[in-house]
Amino acid sequence: MKMGILACGPMAETFARTLIQMEEAECYAVASRSLSRAEAFAREYGFTKAYGSYEALCEDPEVELVYIATPHSCHYENMELCIRHKKPVLCEKAFTINAGEARKIMELAEQEQVFVAEAIWTRYMSSRQMIREVVDSGIIGKVSVLTANLSYPISGKERIMRPELAGGALLDIGVYGLNFALMHFGTDIERVESSVRMTDTGVDAMESITLFFKDGRMAVLTHDIYSRSDRKGIFYGEKGYIVVENINNPRSIAVYDTEDRLLKQMDVPEQISGYEYEVRECIEAIRAGVMESSSMPLSDSVRVMEIMDRLRKQWGMVYPREIL
């Protein structure tokens, strides 16, 4: 399938390196607001076409799937452009800046009958099913609590610190913690509680989020932009606990009993980068005439945005373009 990429940043580079190693995908077109940058990217990664505008790429009849690697503050307008040109879309997380935008994209995709999916890569990885099977096996008995953390020292990045770019920890890395909890505990949430520390620029820097589920289970999530955490996800049960190494790209799953003895350990299979799973699923869905991903349906993208909206409301955090 002929792939198009919007933007030429680090994520796009990793994505391109992944495509090169996939038989199912062809590095066809790349676009940037700077034609020279797009041309340099195309030369380096072997793309056939380079465009100096996103509009030009969308007008190319050969493009079969567009990967959007722009900042999340641009996702809504970029997805709208692709959908109106009938181009299937795989858009980076966070899907949009709020649930209202996400719902509009879902409605537009349905109206235009165009495939759209959020590229939250952990949803598509083989590790997701591996984790589910271990938890559901009953090896640690009934699971009551899940904890997950994800923090990186990224406060020096402009897109993180600027409210007008929908910055902050939540939409950039908190989205992984939320997805980890929802993937394994479901979406039937009773209430959400949180605490936050804001930056001087007005975005969230550190947060602790507790999701209370109607079945009595609880998920506790922490994220921040100043430190490097261990990135672990842990399930606690009656007979022990399960440790997932790196919720952002799981590498192994270990099971311990109540005496902290290792009962079982599984390594996640080798992968190109992790991006290949979402690409394959999108290609298969498009070829089958399906309008959304089974691993990350648009209703789930909307649900995640609704939770993040609720959290930002608790914090009194509003992005400039939301003020009308």
Domain boundaries, the chain: 2-122+275-304, 126-270
Give the pLDDT mean for 47-63: 98
Residue 43: pLDDT above 90? yes
pLDDT band at 311 (very low <50, low <70, confident <90, very high): very high
197-250 pLDDT per residue, tens:
999 999 999 999 999 999 999 999 999 999 999 999 999 999 999 999 999 999
Whether residue 324 has pLDDT greater than 80? no
Q: What is the mean pLDDT of the chain?
A: 97
pLDDT of 323: 75
Q: Average of pLDDT values for 79-96?
A: 98
What average pLDDT score do residues 112-137 get? 97
Q: Respond yes or no: is residue 93 known to be catalytic.
A: yes
Residue 77 pLDDT exceeds 80: yes
Rounded to two decimals, the pTM is: 0.96
Q: Per-residue pLDDT averaged across 58-79, rounded?
A: 97
Task: Give the residue-averaged pLDDT of 98-119.
Answer: 98
Q: What is the pLDDT of residue 227?
A: 98
Query: In which residue are the tokens 């590229």 written?
Result: 119
Q: Which CATH class is domain 2-122+275-304?
A: alpha beta
Q: Choosing from 49, 93, 214, 232, which is the catalytic residue?
A: 93
Beta bridge partners of 51: 31
Which pLDDT score is estimated for 321? Answer: 86
Domain 126-270 architecture: 2-Layer Sandwich (3.30)
Q: Say if residue 135's pLDDT is above 80.
A: yes
Structure confidence at residue 76 (pLDDT): 98
